[in-house]
Structure 1
Amino acid sequence: MSQHVYPLNDGTEEKAFKLRTRPWAATFLLVGGLAALVLGLGISVSLGAKDIELYTVWQAIFNFNPYNTEHQIIQELRLPRVLGGAMVGASFAVAGALMQGMTRNPLADSGLFGLNAGAGFMLSLCFAFFPGLPYMYLIMYSFLGAALSAALVFGIGSLARGGLTPLRLVLAGAALSALLGALSEGISLYFRTGQDLAFWYAGGVAGTKWLQLKIMFPWVAVAILGAIVLSRSVTMLSLGDDIAAGLGQRTKLVKFACAVIVLILAGSAVSVVGAVGFVGLIIPHLTRYLVGVDYRWIIPCSAVLGSLLVVLADLAARMINPPQEIPIGALIALIGVPFFLYLARKERRSL
């Protein structure tokens, strides 16, 4: 295991802070993960209700024939679906990594903190009062819902004696998620928009269109690049505000920037895939275990592993009981719930 050194602002090497990191493991993970992701994307496009050869997939991408039915299936249905899944997985994973780093909360996740429920609640309002709203506006309302939910969760968690703790934040997020979920269902029943909202509750990328990806991609790309730029500062924050301030970090400004990035990633992902949780909880922990504690490696590796997880989960959702599809949110929850219980038990012991 190698050591990485961050010198303090005064330039004295005696006060340099050492962080454990495994750059060789991170490099291997990035290269191997990207290769596995490309292979997973190809297999996911080729398999489905109608199996298509990988050579045909290659031809449909680089030599599209609009009169070929298989090419049309690939271009109009399967490619946007798998690419949307990859972007959503990267968004949730990077958002979770940022939240865990800046709050020093191992249970932090956009779903557990109520961001997904807040975005879904705003979408239910849009379906009820503004039917046919353009997708660009749906993304903006998702951002707003996620922001309001985050503010409420942190406000409720701060009211308890002793201030914020990881478990209190999760409990506040669970309570708010239950409330917003019930309100969303009530609105859908009253205004008869249950069919539109059912997709968001189930979680899935089956209905992803190229227009959604064109609107979503710039937001996600800029947000992930911003997370990478802030990764060194997030590493400092993960060690505590006092240490970060001693290393010259403007902690409040960094936290605000990270919060904006998390809202962009969570809001855009929920607007496409719906209520899929635990990706941002599982992937950052797995990444830290593999590459160490340096967020300059954690964030890009989390993006790759998050994309791979959602793409493979979507493939499994289509292949377990064809031609029926299982919501990918349910499949990921089969892993995420036991993992969350393990982390909660571990966190309780440390209190």
Structure 2
Amino acid sequence: MSLSVGTQTLPGKQDSAQAAPGRRRTVSALRGLGLLLGLAALVLVALLSVWVGTKGIPFTATWNALWRPDGSETSIIIHEYRIPRTVLGLLVGMALGLSGALMQALTRNPLADPGLLGVSLGASSGVVVAIAFLGIGSALGYVWFAFLGAALASVLVYVLGSSGRAVATPDRLVVAGAAVTAVLLAFNSAVLLLHPRAFDQFRFWTVGALSGRKTDIVLIVLPFVTIGLILALLLAPSLNALAMGDQMGRALGVDVNRTRVLGAVGVMLLCGAATAAAGPIGFIGLVVPHVARFVAGPDQRWVLAYSMVLAPVLLIGSDVLGRVLGAPGEIQVGIVTAFIGAPLFIALCRRRKLVML
């Protein structure tokens, strides 16, 4: 092994420097391959969601009705019920996965989930008000109240977290979110105890389900999910810098406060739309970002991309599993994701430390 003289580079270091770009290209190729496999899994579970249901339909009949609707009973079931349900599962899954990844990156807390800022409880409070005081009983009617409640809760948390001369740091936002969540939970409990009829309707929504939702709800939440998705992906480079700390982020040219505000808006849009459309569904936003980091590493660009693909795989797959296990009825997807997500999260905790980097 030769030594360097003057500005001449050591042969060993030169070989290492030349090999580094090759290793980076290999890692990127493997990440891209994993993402393609995730997309293939998403297509598979989407097809299963269109095929499997409480009414058994042969696969060939499902395939023909999918591409050539003819007004038959099978065609109506496929196009008016199962396809909107599958598309809604795709949107809700993407929204929950991205909002969970955003929350964990913004707060640098691996245990954060979309409900940490009070978004889920805010949406629930909106539904409670719509049912108990306004007599609204349909999903299409109270979806707007759920979204409004999520937005108001998010704004309240941010105002409390940045009150006085302090800035909205992750710790202050978490504390403010916990306080708002406690108040909203007490409010919901009080209203539902005083209005038993409202409780009868609310308990079906609060389980979390994709059943009974048609194209009109998909069209309502689509713009909000789209804007939140674009916002989350645009914030990915800033989130990478923010993961090294506020001071380092500022040194790298990132506007920390702006990133947190836009990230909170993204979480509100994504989680608010998902909760309004399907009810509160747990563990998706908590577990999937950990799986994404385990597969793709800490780079937020890849974490967000994987979360956007893997979350709907888990959600739609759980929905299909609920139809199979509950036949001739079905088990609501919120129950299935809890049974699947909890053991998966425990396994991830035991396998490695929950760190962001």
* Aligned amino acid, residue 129 of structure 2: L
After superposition, residues 256-335 of structure 1 pair within 5 angstroms as 256-335=261-340
Tell me: CA distance 1:97–1:144, structure 2 relative to 1, closer, same or farther (3 Å).
Answer: same
Alignment of 1:100 with 2:100, yes or no, is: no
Aligned partner of residue 209 in structure 2, secondary structure = coil
Deviation at 1:141, TM superposition (A): 3.4
Q: Report if the CA contact (8 A) 1:96-1:109 is conserved.
A: yes
Gaps of 5+ in 1: 1-18
Work out whether 1:75 is the aligned partner of 2:75: no
Q: CA deviation at 1:158?
A: 9.2
- State the Cα distance separating 1:256 from its structure 2 match: 0.8
- Alpha-carbon distance in structure 2 between the residues aligned to 1:235 and 1:349: 14
Structure 1 residues 349, 252: closer, same or farther in 2, change over 3 A?
A: closer
* CA RMSD, Structure 1 to Structure 2 (Å): 3.4
Deviates more, 1:261-270 or 1:228-237: 228-237
State the one-letter code of the partner of 1:332. Answer: T
1:232 paired residue number: 237
Q: 1:248 aligns with which of 248, 253, 266?
A: 253
Task: Provide the residue aligned with 1:119 in structure 2.
Answer: 123
1:94 shift after superposition? 0.0
With normalisation by structure 2, the TM-score equals 0.80
Instruction: Give 3-state SS (helix, strand or coil) of 2:55's partner.
Output: coil
Partner residue, 1:23: 28
- SS of residue in 1 equivalent to 2:114: coil
2:91 maps to 87
1:207 counterpart SS class: coil
- Identity score, percent: 37
Any conservation in 1 of the 2:123–2:275 contact (CA below 8 Å)?
Answer: yes
1:122 shift after superposition: 1.2
How far did residue 154 of structure 1 move? Answer: 6.7
Q: After alignment, is 50-59 or 232-241 more displaced?
A: 50-59
Alignment of 1:186-225 (within 5 A): 186-191=190-195, 192-225=197-230
When normalised by structure 1's length, the TM-score is 0.81
Deviations for 1:151-209, whole angstroms, at most 9, x for unmatched residues? Answer: 566788899xxx99989977875675465344324323434222321222111100111
- Residue range with higher mean Cα deviation, 302-311 or 121-130: 121-130
Moved more, 140-149 or 339-348: 339-348
Q: Counterparts in 2 of 1:115-154, with a 5 A limit?
A: 115-132=119-136, 138-150=142-154
- Higher Cα Rg, which structure: 2
